Chain A
Amino acid sequence: KNQVEQSPQSLIILEGKNCTLQCNYTVSPFSNLRWYKQDTGRGPVSLTIMTFSENTKSNGRYTATLDADTKQSSLHITASQLSDSASYICVVRWYSSASKIIFGSGTRLSIRP
């Protein structure tokens, strides 16, 4: 069964600290993986996209990694800011007879001053 699991479910850190969010998937054959940021009361916004051949990709203070062999991805946030408080959702696409997409349940990140 194709699944996307994220951990932790929630995380609280102090402003300025770093953190890493995890995403494990069982999807096959893999197409690409995106990390989205969803602020409270808003729709998700894409942070990064990674394909099979990419190991790491950065977007400012956000760095995503992908290990396609172990089917794991992580999102590392450096020098966290209060505005980083949001849910971070891992989204995996695969292709069988048609393109498919599955969302993880997200990690709720809270940054405290």
Chain B
Amino acid sequence: DTAVSQTPKYLVTQMGNDKSIKCEQNLGHDTMYWYKQDSKKFLKIMFSYNNKELIINETVPNRFSPKSPDKAHLNLHINSLELGDSAVYFCASSPEGLANGEQYFGPGTRLTVT
């Protein structure tokens, strides 16, 4: 009965490839997020969707494109992968928007670009 799930857990790929990470939440939350955690352990928000609509789009390269087919899913597609994209990517969801809602995080996807 995992609340927020991500697949895959590990992803190793070569520079220039295109890859996707999937995220699903079964909590009935309206808002979902993608975060990147770099080697220094800083978590930085990348995108936020509310009911399938993009509400936050931080300064990330346009090689990163989120897709939300429904409010329970928020996938992250990355084109032309670069070495600097190596990080752990976390999906999260919350019942409310960023203002007050506690965020529930997925287990993370460790992306390694070689």
**A100-B45 Cα distance, complex, nearest whole Å:** 10
A30 → chain B, closest Cβ, in Å? Answer: 12
Q: How many A-B Cβ pairs are below 8 Å?
A: 47
Taking a contact as CB atoms under 8 Å apart, the answer to whether B99 and A43 are in contact is no
Q: Cβ of A93: which chain B residues have Cβ within 8 Å of it?
A: 98-100
Taking a contact as CB atoms under 8 Å apart, the answer to whether A34 and B102 are in contact is yes
Cβ-based interface call for A103 (8 A)? yes
Taking a contact as CB atoms under 8 Å apart, the answer to whether B102 and A49 are in contact is yes
**A30-B102 Cα distance, complex, nearest whole Å:** 16
Q: Quick one: which of B41, B45, B92, B97 contacts A43, CB cutoff 8 A? A: B92
Taking a contact as CB atoms under 8 Å apart, the answer to whether A105 and B42 are in contact is yes
A46 → chain B, closest Cβ, in Å? Answer: 5
Binds A, one of B63-71, B73-81, B104-112: B104-112
Taking a contact as CB atoms under 8 Å apart, the answer to whether B40 and A105 are in contact is yes
**A103-B103 Cα distance, complex, nearest whole Å:** 13
Given contacts A31-B99, A43-B90, whether A101 and B45 have CB atoms under 8 Å apart is yes
Taking a contact as CB atoms under 8 Å apart, the answer to whether A105 and B41 are in contact is yes
In which size bucket is the chain B interface?
A: 20 to 34
Interface size on A, residues (CB 8 A): 22
Taking a contact as CB atoms under 8 Å apart, the answer to whether A103 and B98 are in contact is no
Taking a contact as CB atoms under 8 Å apart, the answer to whether B107 and A41 are in contact is yes
**A49-B96 Cα distance, complex, nearest whole Å:** 15
Taking a contact as CB atoms under 8 Å apart, the answer to whether A101 and B98 are in contact is yes
List the B residue with the shortest CB-CB distance to A89.
Answer: B43
A66 → chain B, closest Cβ, in Å? Answer: 16
Q: Cβ of A87: which chain B residues have Cβ within 8 Å of it?
A: 41
Contacts beyond the supplied A93-B100, A103-B42: 16 A-B pairs with Cβ under 8 Å: A42-B107, A43-B107, A43-B108, A44-B43, A44-B105, A45-B105, A46-B103, A87-B41, A93-B98, A98-B56, A98-B98, A99-B98, A101-B45, A101-B98, A105-B40, A105-B42
Q: Which residue numbers of B lie inside 8 Å of A, CB to CB? A: 4, 40-45, 56, 90, 92, 97-100, 102-108
Q: List 27 A-B contacts (CB under 8 A).
A: A31-B100, A32-B100, A41-B107, A41-B108, A42-B105, A42-B108, A43-B90, A43-B92, A43-B106, A43-B108, A44-B43, A44-B90, A44-B105, A45-B105, A87-B41, A93-B99, A95-B99, A98-B56, A98-B98, A99-B97, A99-B99, A101-B45, A103-B42, A103-B44, A105-B41, A105-B42, A108-B41
